[in-house]
Chain A
Amino acid sequence: MSDNSNFDAIIIGGGHNGLVCANILARKNKRVLICEARKECGGMVNNEITNYVPPVTTTVSSSLGGMQVNYLPKTTIALSETGQHIRLVGNQHIDHKSISTFSSQDADRFNDFHEKMSKFSKTLGSFMMASPPRIMNNSFSDYFKLFKLGLNVRLLGKKNFNEFARMIGLNIADELEDNFENTLLQGLIAHDSVIGSNLGPRSPGSLINLLYRMAIHNNSLFGGIFQIEGGNDQFTKHLIEKCKSNNVEIKTSASVKNCIVEDDCAVGVELINGEKVYAKKIISNVDPRSTYFSLLGSQNLDTDVKRKIKHHRSKGRVAKLILDLNKLPSFNNCDDIDLDSRMVVAPSIDYIEETFNPSKFDKLSLEPTLEICVKKDSDQNPKLDIQVQYAPYKTDQGWENVKENYIESIIKIISKYAPNINECIEHKKLITPDDIELEYNVSGGHWHHGEIQIDQLFMMRPIPGASQYKTHLDGLFMCGAGTHPGGGLTGISGKNAAKAVLDDF
């Protein structure tokens, strides 16, 4: 290792996980530098990409010395063309009442379903929040962790154990159709199961996606969904302030070209402008594919590692449509409180599945699934921030040729619920997955830097052999959403990575 290490650690990428990791290291008296390629830190946690956030867990916030941001809970509305919307807040009694206006049977079943799912998400959750064990490592603590998961699952009792085993590879559609008769309710839960993923409601494994989502949202289906007072970027702004007070150095517009490797160990980074900075530990908050192929370089990787990274699935299928408005459109049968809610357009399971189908063939669905969020810009003008599910990463005709058409089809869908939408629109902007890839330097433009599916979870996240925040190169760590437990703005990856780095000093 070279002696001119100016820093203890360099973090590549100033997204929220990088900021969390930097602060924790700095609080342990490490000299930390963050290199951010963009003009400002924060990554995808901003007012453009992020609509809703889960709460920060107490373990993350306490290791940061507390988080002074205000979380505002949000209601979810499943929009119905007939105006018979379903409103859910994550409270057992209120939600029961809300659903029972459509079907008393569904309302009862919803409570049972929720209780069961909540139990399973807790079981998985305890495993999710800690650093995953590494198989074939022969370490006692790793075996103990696996044993504990096994025990937790077994302690569910025989009946629940069988149910858990049944559900783990199941598709969400079958489970919902077995439980509920109301198609709108089915559509809403199915939407939250597949959101941000490459799965349709009828794809095997879509159920575990929902458990994952619940685990980071207070083990609740529709509770634990928040916005941050003053805008979601307050979250990262607060982390950046903390960086300042913890003496973390931040370099912006500092794109890292590659890691500097000496004696098969990462010892620093070389920036695009040729500047070299050295540190004892290098931590990549960049997605796994770029970390391995760009930072580490394929000439420094074993063949088997290349194979694993090439298998890593990280193509995003969520686009963002931002409509700047001169006034708020009137949504059918919605009041002001509703407009402050998370509005979901996913009328049925089949609707979502049909949206999903063309995306498998890199084609567009002209009836996409939407999550609509009303926001205000800096001049207090309203805007609609719409998350569009199943926009393929690349389209067969090329995004530039179909973008306009796609935007119009999305607006047409919204007009079914807000007939005067067209009069209100001042400006439209569509951000496609490949735009996200370019703008935020995320391979595939995937929210979570990689699919949250059974083959890419736990000790297989991002790839086997690199699951404990270490990469295959000594001295180079990963702290981004591509690592366990994944994205979702929890900061857990950043926190666990910091621990792994500290253990290695």
Chain B
Amino acid sequence: MTQDLRYSALKKTPFHSKTSMASRTNKYYNWNGYTVPTEYSTTELEYTAARNGTSVMDLTPMGKYEITGDHAHRFVDYLVTRDLSEMKDNTVAYIIWCNEDGKVIDDGTIFKFSSTKFMLCCAVKIYNWLNDSAYGFDVSISDVTDTIAALAIQGPTSCSTLKKFGAEDLEKLKPFEMREYKIDGFDILISRTGFTGDLGYELWTDPKNAEATWDNIEIAGKELKLRPFGMHALEMTRIEAGFIQTNTDFMAAEDSLRPTRMRSPYEIGMGWLVHLNKNSYFVGKKALKKEKEESTTERCLVGLDIDGDKPAHGSVIYNSKKEDIGIVTAALWSPIMKKNIALASLKRPYGIKIKENIFAEIYHPEELEYRKIWARCKVVKRQFFNPERRNKVPADLYE
């Protein structure tokens, strides 16, 4: 799609003609230099579609990088904290990567096509980081953000929708697997991945195929409660799923000005992604090993089940002595759980050893006045919502 860049500060995605037509609110925001909807109609409706039908979101602005070359596999394994040496072709892995101080830069997903070709997806732009890290490896990095159109198709009926769209045998695809399809003459890659914590897929194709794909999926999902959904609804679902968001739940190490604001994987609940016994070196290994050996981890990211029904946006968390022990990074009243939940960054040992007598100070706005609520919190697993259908193989199908 050609645009006159002189009059358009933000880029439009290949789905823009479709997403803007679907929008009833004209609410957009800037994601990586693209304009994409925050809300199409009402966030509640969109959320409901995601949890009960199929939701479609334009993912194109996500940073997408192709890593090719003889050392591609070695390089990817060096870049991230997770041990990917055994990663199989046509699979996807959730990953984080750190700087030399072992502080998290971002999280994302890595797609393996073969040992010489990978694709890395993440929320922000990291071309320079990849390129500088690749020095000394026989790999080439290219930014394919603009050349791949991407959609998230999420929700309990998403598999059925995509099957009607033309993705045969899709129900057999396991979580974190991907498969290439040829639909209407175009190559479409479908991966069983997503950011809603439910059954869901992501679809990757040529921008030329974007508009037709959007239309055909809309037709396929007509009887399956399909709805486009925006950033706000996604935010609700991802908190329920306990997924973290860079620069919301933690500051990206490359972005934060204050060294004390940077977080190690252990401090944001991502310790399970750090494999210190990996055979080869990876960026940040030395610092992370030291942190582990010396037990210098200062914080933790936990789930909170909070009394009452008022969301604890930005609340300060206290212990019983009213000492400040942390802050809420994301919060909502979960419609599906019927619970007041939050993600919170706490100072250890709170959240790890001490899970009782923790309180949130909630300021609830009521027509230009705040009601101050002192609410008791229970430390719980961050994954609030984790339905069985999410990982079921074959996936549930609906007519």
Which residues of A are interface residues toward B (Cβ below 8 A)?
A: 261, 264, 293, 297-307, 310, 465, 472
Contact = CB atoms under 8 A, between A and B. Distances in A.
Contacts of A465: 100
Interface of B: 74, 78, 99-100, 129, 132-133, 135-137, 280-281, 283-286, 289
A212 to B, nearest CB: 29
A261 B281 CA distance: 10
A305 B281 contact: no
Nearest to A472: B286
B289 A298 contact: no
A299 B134 CA distance: 9
Contacts of B135: 298, 306, 310
4 closest A-B pairs (Cβ-Cβ)? A298-B136, A302-B100, A304-B100, A303-B133
Nearest to B102: A302
Nearest to A306: B135
13 contacts: A264-B285, A264-B286, A297-B136, A299-B281, A301-B136, A301-B281, A302-B99, A302-B284, A303-B99, A304-B100, A307-B132, A310-B135, A472-B286
Given A261-B281, A264-B285, A299-B137, 13 more contacts: A298-B135, A298-B136, A299-B280, A299-B281, A302-B100, A302-B284, A303-B129, A303-B133, A303-B283, A304-B99, A306-B133, A306-B135, A310-B135
B98 to A, nearest CB: 9
Contacts of B99: 302-304
Given A264-B281, A299-B137, A299-B280, A306 B74 contact: no
A264 B132 contact: no
Contacts of A302: 99-100, 283-284, 286
A139 to B, nearest CB: 16
Contacts of B280: 299
B105 to A, nearest CB: 9
B12 to A, nearest CB: 33
B270 to A, nearest CB: 18
Nearest to B78: A299
A299 B281 CA distance: 7
Given A264-B281, A264-B286, A299-B281, A305 B100 contact: yes
Contacts of A310: 132, 135
A298 B286 CA distance: 15
Contacts of A301: 136, 281
A264 B283 contact: no
Contact of B281 (A293, A300, A304, A306): A300
Given A264-B285, A264-B286, A299 B74 contact: yes
A303 B100 contact: yes
Contacts of B289: 264
A157 B271 CA distance: 54
B258 to A, nearest CB: 14
Contacts of A261: 281
Contacts of B129: 303
Nearest to A293: B136
Contacts of B132: 303, 306-307, 310
